[in-house]
Structure 1
Amino acid sequence: MPQATATLSAQLAGAFEPHPEVMRLPLAQLAGALPPGPTLRLYAVTDQPGLYVLHAPSLAAQGAMFSRVVALIERRDMPRDHVVTMNAVAANARRFGEDPAGLTAGNNFSAAQIAQFFELAQRQHVSLTEGERALQTLLAQWGLIRQEAGEGGMTWRAASPRDFLITIPGTGKGPAGEAIDTEVRAAILSHELGHWRFFSDPDYAHACRTYWWHQLTFTEREALTEELTSMGYDPSDRIVIDELQAYLLHTPARYMPLADLPGAGGVDIARVKRGLELSVRSVRQNAGQ
């Protein structure tokens, strides 16, 4: 067995142990509780009901668990109605200059979306990878997903429509040599928590959508969509608006990939960010009245 494969299997082994521990803590204590090494750990955030955080042992382990989930839910030019092969995921990743073993720095999915992946795989009789089996086992033991009896047999369902999982990688080298240190991990966590805000706060999400549709021009929306799709994201408004707010409002500047596009068909990212901040701030002010 190649060393990398053996290391990955060892990192995923903890997922198959019975009764895995769930650390329960408030959001303010989460960053300080993250492990320093390649540890698989789940956190339930007590003051944010429905929020769970999975700390994967490494970027490779995270990719092994989530690559095909990412492909199903949010990747550009990937089908939304069936699970593709790992070769298809790899080919899609290479189109955008990404390593398929890592694919994403972090992840965010509702429990319903993850259950959808396992349900589609079951219907298609698709064999799960070791990483996907680890994810399925973990989430079933943690109670985020479960099998229920349906008309056609057992089906995978989310335990609650309000449950939401974000994932971040452990520190160390990624499959393509990229370095994940504590600062990078903190930036990934902040970005993914932005997605939780969009998922869990209807007023905040409404403010982001309103800004997108009513304050940005068609040309600006087109330019921003092109930037995000060039990074491999699906061009749907569902994905683009969510990613835009997570990058502009929740990602430290040095890690924010969106850039100005000069010219008549371009976009001023700083201006877009200021406008989005004002839109969100007005919602907060109205909520306080």
Structure 2
Amino acid sequence: MKSFRTRGIALTAACALSLSTIGWFGGDACAQAGAAELEAQSEHVEIRRVPLARLEASLPGDARLVLFAITDRPGLYVMHAPGLAGQGAMFSRVVALFERRDMPRDHIVTMTEIATHARRFRTNAADLTAGNNFSSTELAHFFDLARSQHLTLTPGERALQRIAVQTGLIGERNGDWQARSTRDFLITIPGLGTGPGGEIIDTQVRAAILSHELGHWQYFSDNAYAQACRSFWWRELSYDQRVELTRQLEALGYDASDRIVIDEAQAYLLHTPAPYMPLADVPGPNGFDVAAIRGRLKQRVAEATR
């Protein structure tokens, strides 16, 4: 869940990037200390193996860094990050590379460009890192691209790389970063606490983020489910409805490609609790009814996966 707005939390990329951006330029002692602590935690990350049904009950009651390997969903890993700032420090440039609107897909941008992008979308709650979902192939590509660009990784990115290697998600082969398996998938959620901009991550918010990100895992891992979502998008939504959905997701900072908008649409419509839903109704004869579209999509998915 890269962007969302709720009664209790309105995230901005600018605040989530405080550790990664300010600490990167060396202008904030607190951020630098946070970056050092993140790297230290990543050196001995705790890995817990639990079935999916026990995941939520097993989450820490604080902002501790813990990685969960889901035993009954082969290839699924869940990172409980040490808060919003730490999560942003690890993933901001990964998110920008693969998912954000008006960001390049062929190279990794600077942290200055990330901060500029964040400021552009702050009024639309375009947070880069409320939650994340990436295949191990995407993570390997990010680090391979960083190497080819001769980039210096940020402390947060070094921590992410170390965790991905320790858990076997990625590894170096013949001088390249490669995924261990194309079926491996990492989702991340923030730990409990207050973010750098005063955002409150409580158990309800964390559960909403987790549900949304698990929706992306289902889309990634279940071909019948994914095909039902794609078929619904192209065959059952009108042109005007597709345009409106894309417009709203773009306003949240998402890239407008079909790859992104169909996946995000299903994750919001089917896996995001109503209080945290950023998609809005649009009145009129060619309007947009979120509840009605959700109901139709839910029915089509149930028919395709029964």
TM-score, normalised relative to structure 1? 0.93
User: What corresponds to 2:188 in structure 1?
Assistant: 167
Cα separation, partners in 2 of 1:131 and 1:98, compared to 1, 3 Å: farther
Distance 1:227 1:194 in 2: 19
Between 1 and 2, higher relative CO (CA 8 Å, sep ≥ 6) is seen in 2
Cα separation, partners in 2 of 1:71 and 1:46, compared to 1, 3 Å: same
User: What corresponds to 2:113 in structure 1?
Assistant: 88
Shift of 1:102: 5.9
User: What corresponds to 1:13 in structure 2?
Assistant: 40
1:189 aligns with 2:216: no
Give CA deviations for 1:144-196 in whole Å, capped at 9, x if unaligned: 000110xxxx1111110000000000011112211101110010000000000
Distance 2:274 2:126 in 1: 26
Shift of 1:215: 0.3
Distance 1:98 1:162 in 2: 36
Distance 1:187 1:75 in 2: 21
User: What corresponds to 1:135 in structure 2?
Assistant: 160
| Paired letter, 1:10 | E
User: What corresponds to 1:4 in structure 2?
Assistant: 31
1:58 aligns with 2:79: no
1:219 aligns with 2:244: no
Cα separation, partners in 2 of 1:31 and 1:173, compared to 1, 3 Å: same
Alpha-carbon contact 1:228-1:235 (below 8 Å) kept: yes
Shift of 1:21: 3.2
- Among 263, 270, 279, the alignment partner of 2:291 is 270
Shift of 1:103: 2.5
Alpha-carbon contact 2:61-2:192 (below 8 Å) kept: yes
- Among 101, 104, 110, the alignment partner of 1:79 is 104
1:208 aligns with 2:214: no
TM-score, normalised relative to structure 2? 0.88
Shift of 1:32: 0.7
User: What corresponds to 2:9 in structure 1?
Assistant: none
Alpha-carbon contact 1:63-1:101 (below 8 Å) kept: no
User: What corresponds to 2:266 in structure 1?
Assistant: 245
Look up the SS of the partner of 1:83 in the other structure. Answer: coil
| Paired letter, 1:106 | G
Look up the SS of the partner of 2:302 in the other structure. Answer: helix
User: What corresponds to 1:107 in structure 2?
Assistant: 132
Q: Which runs of 5+ in 1 are unaligned?
A: none
Cα separation, partners in 2 of 1:211 and 1:229, compared to 1, 3 Å: same
Cα separation, partners in 2 of 1:241 and 1:262, compared to 1, 3 Å: same
| Paired letter, 1:3 | C
Look up the SS of the partner of 1:65 in the other structure. Answer: helix
Q: Which runs of 5+ in 2 are unaligned?
A: 1-27
